[in-house]
Structure 1
Amino acid sequence: MTHDRLDLVSKLYQPTDWPRVLEAATGKPSSAPLVVDLDPTTFCDLACPECISGKLLNQGRFTPERLAALAEELVAMSVRGVVLIGGGEPLAHRGTRGVLRILGEAGLSIGVVTNGTMIRQNLAELARYATWVRVSMDAGTAETYGLFRPDRKGRSVFDKVVENMRLLASEKTGSLGYSFLVMSRREPDGRTVTNHHEVLRAAELAHDIGCDYFETKAMFDDDHHIVQVPEAVVESVDRQLAEAARLESETFQLVNSSTLTALRNHVGPVQPKEYDRCRVSELRTLVTPSGVYVCAYHRGNPLARIGDAVTDNLADIWRDSDRGMIDPSRDCRFHCARHRSNLELERIDRGAGELPLAEDYDPFL
């Protein structure tokens, strides 16, 4: 049976997750999150002008010892999936390899979101333990990559990252994704630079590298609202994706994010929500060196901070915290990928949900 990796609603009905999903749906505090986003560090070796976490970079990291202990705590809490992400670049922390081993040996599913520059140093662990690795590329050529993803000296490391991806593609046991964020920027001289014309070229490269999927996404502003783009840009992206469809097979998929779908449907930057509690916050959380937060959309927001994982045990933080401190109708007017999941949890609470599935297939709900 195949499933859409971005169909987050259907993931709620997996049998192993169902008891905690029911807790969340009925308004009870869950015993533990099912999925944890973990930022090992806030350091990054690139200097992307559009980085949504730019204001949060270089503000701390876990010690290798604390990072390993956190991994053990996640195992003990029966967390099912961990996404190593950032913030900064997760593979830049020398303790990340140990985290991959601890979580992998315990049977947890592991996702890694990376810029790809340090895949080689972490190759053995990524190839063996990562359920999926998604590399943020946002370009199809070294020149355009250098405009949007320069290193700290302003150089393009595109060729290095492509070679690293080829290495991982040849050894991986999980899936490898090529992520393309559609971006444009007005330069001081009035010119507009953009990457949207390289979607097809990037998709062809992803296929050539040996990636399992190519994902196209829309850009967010600093408050997580989808940046609106001219209709001509959306049409250009869609034409290129239509041509790239010839590359699709059982081993290579084109994936459309909900943000790109929102642009196509002209829904605008605001996503109204009528509920005042995020039920998904009982199922997912974010752990960073600066604190534990209700969710990744509120990374760095002191009003959404529920604890300090540098000093405190994660199970204690979870037990003692109130995940209802965020009111989505007021605090989450941006596009949230789990809005439909929240609506589905309300349906489940009303007794109008579906029956649980017969088998698990993807814990990253």
Structure 2
Amino acid sequence: MDEPRTQLGDTVGTQFVERNLDLVGKLHQRSVLPAVLDVARGGRLSSPLVVDLDPTTVCDLACPECISTQVLHHGQIGQDRILRLAHELADSKVLAVILIGGGEPLMHRSAGRIIEVLHEAGIKIGLVTNGTQIHRHLDQLAGMLSWVRVSIDAGTSETYAKFRPSRGKRSVFPQVIENMRMLADRKSGRLGYSFLLMQRFDEQGRVTDSNYAEVYRAGVLAKEIGCDYFEVKAMLDEDHYTVNQRPEDIAGVEAQIAELRALEDEGFRVLHSSNWQAVRHRSDTVQEKDYHRCAVAELRTTVTPTGVYVCPYHRGNPKGRIGDIQSATFAEMWAAADTAVIDPSEDCRFVCARHPSNVEIATLATGPGAEPCDDFDPFI
């Protein structure tokens, strides 16, 4: 690398947990703002700042509501190639990598070594996982990651077995919770308990099954485990549109969240995702956008075994595919990539978490010079 990366903080604490949700604020960090201004003025970067990396499309769970069903079980990035890729990222201007999927990232046999290579290069690392394999990589996860978010979506083994069944047809809930306890005891970064609200309906539109009643129980468990936060998320359809809920169901969830607020302290917070905010405010499921280029696609990209895509929303979408690291180095792929292949006004009419960032970048393109703030989180 030409120069050492700026070391952005990993402070564990509720103030930081809440601040890391400020995607617009993150654009103004000293190590980020110059690249943002370059993109705002139409420039191209030598590499994105953040990479979502799917090491594999394999998953050991068989969740009926999985939004990634269409991209699952299409192979993985080979062990030799993914280690070379990790070194290529280390030699780039990438500040942060999120191991995600697609499949379950820790199912890749080289997951531990990938983490080590990125960590040694000063790249910040996040992980989205189902938690079943945490024990296999406990040393790396505890000492080298900025954060780990575990998708649980239940507060009991029985409900977990319904919505997150294993391929062995048994609930692995006890194993996941024990893994989280072990990680919480040793972690240097943040640990989150993610709860995706889910309902099932019959042909008449009546609710036949739900995990809504377990929000409070799951939140209590999250704090007892030692998590830094508990996050409630709204269900999306296969096209990433939020699924609006009945007013009484929204009220029931909000009542449980209100109870959980009493558990908040210096080490624990209860969070709403942006899509649950949209549902609870009965917002339109269509988010109109009056711009035709996603500037964030130049700052952040998604690398998978089947190709490189502009973002996770378009993972597996041929229109959003911008390259392939199987046949080129990361630098070669990025230099040839066209990050403008997606038109947000037409292709991203769902509620997008990056929309406020795109609006801010457009403002920076024409406004007065922006004042940078101190670095606090590279996961823009």
TM-score by length of 2: 0.93
1:144 corresponds, among 159, 173, 176, to 159
Secondary structure in structure 2 of the residue aligned to 1:215: strand
Distance 1:155 1:5 in 2: 35
Give the conservation status (yes or no) of the 8 Å contact 1:344–1:353.
no
Q: Does 1:115 align with 2:139?
A: no
Q: CA deviation at 1:187?
A: 5.6
Structure-2 residue corresponding to 1:281: 297
1:173 corresponds, among 188, 193, 204, to 188
Distance 2:207 2:276 in 1: 24
Structure-1 residue corresponding to 2:254: 238
1:134 corresponds, among 137, 145, 149, to 149
**Paired residue type of 1:264:** R
Q: Does 1:229 align with 2:228?
A: no
Give the conservation status (yes or no) of the 8 Å contact 1:139–1:195.
yes
Q: CA deviation at 1:319?
A: 0.8
| CA distances 1:178-226 after superposition (whole Å, capped 9, x unpaired) | 0000000126897610001111100000000000110000011110001
Q: CA deviation at 1:352?
A: 5.0
Distance 1:5 1:198 in 2: 26
Distance 2:34 2:332 in 1: 21
Secondary structure in structure 2 of the residue aligned to 1:356: coil
Structure-2 residue corresponding to 1:218: 234
Structure-1 residue corresponding to 2:139: 124
Structure-1 residue corresponding to 2:6: none
Secondary structure in structure 1 of the residue aligned to 2:340: helix
Distance 1:317 1:140 in 2: 43
Distance 1:85 1:316 in 2: 23
Give the conservation status (yes or no) of the 8 Å contact 2:46–2:331.
no
2:178 corresponds, among 151, 157, 163, to 163
**Residue correspondences, number:** 364
Q: Give 1:63-74 correspondences, 5 Å limit.
A: 63-74=78-89
Q: Does 1:250 align with 2:266?
A: yes
Q: CA deviation at 1:241?
A: 0.7
Structure-1 residue corresponding to 2:319: 303
**Paired residue type of 2:274:** S
Q: CA deviation at 1:350?
A: 1.2
Q: Does 1:98 align with 2:113?
A: yes
Q: Does 1:39 align with 2:54?
A: yes
2:286 corresponds, among 245, 261, 270, to 270
Give the conservation status (yes or no) of the 8 Å contact 1:142–1:156.
yes
Unpaired runs of 5+ in structure 2? 1-14
Structure-2 residue corresponding to 1:61: 76
Structure-1 residue corresponding to 2:3: none
**Greater Cα offset, 81-90 or 266-275:** 266-275
TM-score by length of 1: 0.97
Q: Percent identity?
A: 53
Pairwise CA RMSD: 1.4
Q: CA deviation at 1:268?
A: 2.3
Residues 155 and 188 (structure 1), Cα distance of their counterparts in 2 relative to 1, 3 Å cut: farther
Q: Give 1:76-95 correspondences, 5 Å limit.
A: 76-95=91-110
Q: CA deviation at 1:229?
A: 1.1
Q: CA deviation at 1:353?
A: 6.8
Q: CA deviation at 1:240?
A: 0.6
Distance 2:341 2:315 in 1: 14
Structure-2 residue corresponding to 1:327: 343
Distance 1:219 1:346 in 2: 30
**Paired residue type of 2:52:** D
Q: CA deviation at 1:311?
A: 2.0
